[in-house]
Structure 1
């Protein structure tokens, strides 16, 4: 058993911070995400002719498109694609309902010319912004080099969800991968959970918490064959109890694992236990 201290940044302490509503740093994948650089309104006008401007948002087809509100997880985000800098990736939340308790909406992915902002590819992802007590905390592009095959690189989209219960904290980040093909923007991997944390505690000390992180790496691509995706998994279970001296103590157990995802000719097959519960 190890005693918790201020110097020890354990998962238990992270859960306490989340449960108390204290902000914690986001994953590195979301750092420096929004590269719209004042061009979001121009992108929207080109992508959605007829959209009506309403302050920091546009109205289009019964949906609200927010583009100029920092920190809003439902705002438009852009990222120049390092693998093909002539292209800019854009995620457009199309919100049809918004309230403090429930939201409904889709995300439309756009691939636009970085110079003239004309749309080259687009794909609408139904219901990706719909939430309730488990709410969308952030949306971010993942532009790590996912080289599927020689000359074919994918980009990722990460959606992070968080729960609002202090006694039963919950957080989850899910990843999708997309390839830009001549005949359209295509999902090649969907709904894999790359990080999750959940637990149950008495809001003072005693409880059990689980944290899982998954890291994706590409195998060596061969001509005419899509590379496998190797998923390295690490899970830590923390059990917190009140010691005889009244101090809160935690015992951690860590397990590691590995999964290999193979391309079936249309997409990578993700085992059910690695996917987000629908």
Structure 2
């Protein structure tokens, strides 16, 4: 029993030793200061299909913060985990704006985006929401990136994969719409890249107060569309 305890302890310690924060090393290479980035939105993730590398997303302030609103430049990087050296990067000025629609989270999506036999993309998801209670709204956008000749290239930009919104009296009466999309990879190709199959579920809910009971009526609709690669990006 004691033997297995020490094996488990070593495994945990080894796991923690791999979760290295590469931010200081990367910022030095980019000649940026930590004060120049929105630190709570910074994210880093090891590539599951190439664990010697990580993806980093550095949201750099593009302008001064004004009454809670700000604009961010997107620094999307792939680095070597052993050295922290930047291998490839993509920089998009004024990529994200947080204002009435608040940017709440940025996450790295390492799903199975196999665009052809040799190309696997990774995604960046951005989550937004409003603070309105009578008119709630939130959305998630997805961008996909591939490595091409040691540079990062966006092939899908800010595609909305989730949206929720509605209006109600904050008691019962109201209407809501939930739009949730998933991406499947098609076997058919265009310009040597597989088509993307977008499957969307649209749920509409109407609440009505009747005899002091809040009655909900729900309708569901499903749609399927394809995004085709035009040689530069998916449309």
Alpha-carbon distance in 2 for matches of 1:193, 1:166? 22
Question: Deviations along 1:125-176, whole A, 9 cap, x unmatched?
Answer: 2323321111001000110010111111100000000011111100000000
Which of 40, 44, 56 is the aligned partner of 2:23? 40
Q: Name the SS for the 2:25 alignment partner.
A: helix
Q: Distance in 2 between matches of 1:223 and 1:126?
A: 30
Q: 2:64 aligns with which of 83, 87, 97?
A: 97
Distance in 2 separating the partners of 1:91 and 1:183: 17
Contact 1:238–1:250 (CA under 8 A) maintained in structure 2? yes
Aligned to 1:140: 107
2:108 and 2:89 map into 1 onto residues whose CA distance is 15
Q: Structure 1: any 5+ residue segments left out of the alignment?
A: 1-34, 53-57, 270-278
2:182 equivalent among 215, 218, 222: 215
Counterpart CA distance in 1 for 2:165 and 2:93 is 26
Q: Residue 30 of structure 1 aligns with which residue?
A: none
8 Å contact kept, 1:150–1:221: no
Note if 1:83 corresponds to 2:49. Answer: yes
Superposed structure 1 runs of 4+ greater than 4 Å apart: 221-224
Deviation at 1:121, TM superposition (A): 0.9
TM-score, length of structure 2 as denominator length: 0.86
RMSD: 1.9
Per-residue deviation, 1:97: 2.3
Corresponding residue of 2:83: 116
How many aligned residue pairs are there? Answer: 217
TM-score by length of 1: 0.73
Q: Of Structure 1 and Structure 2, which has the larger fraction of its residues in helix?
A: 2
Match of 2:128 among 148, 157, 161: 161
Rounded Cα–Cα distance in structure 2 between residues aligned with 1:235 and 1:103: 32
Q: In the alignment, is the contact (CA less than 8 A) between 1:237 and 1:252 conserved in 2?
A: yes
Question: Comparing both structures, which one devotes a greater share of its residues to strand?
Answer: 2
The CA deviation at 1:268 is: 0.8
Equivalents in 1 of 2:160, 2:107: separation in Å?
14
- Higher RCO (CA < 8 A, seq sep 6+): 1
Larger radius of gyration: 2
Question: Runs of 5+ in structure 2 lacking a partner?
Answer: 1-17
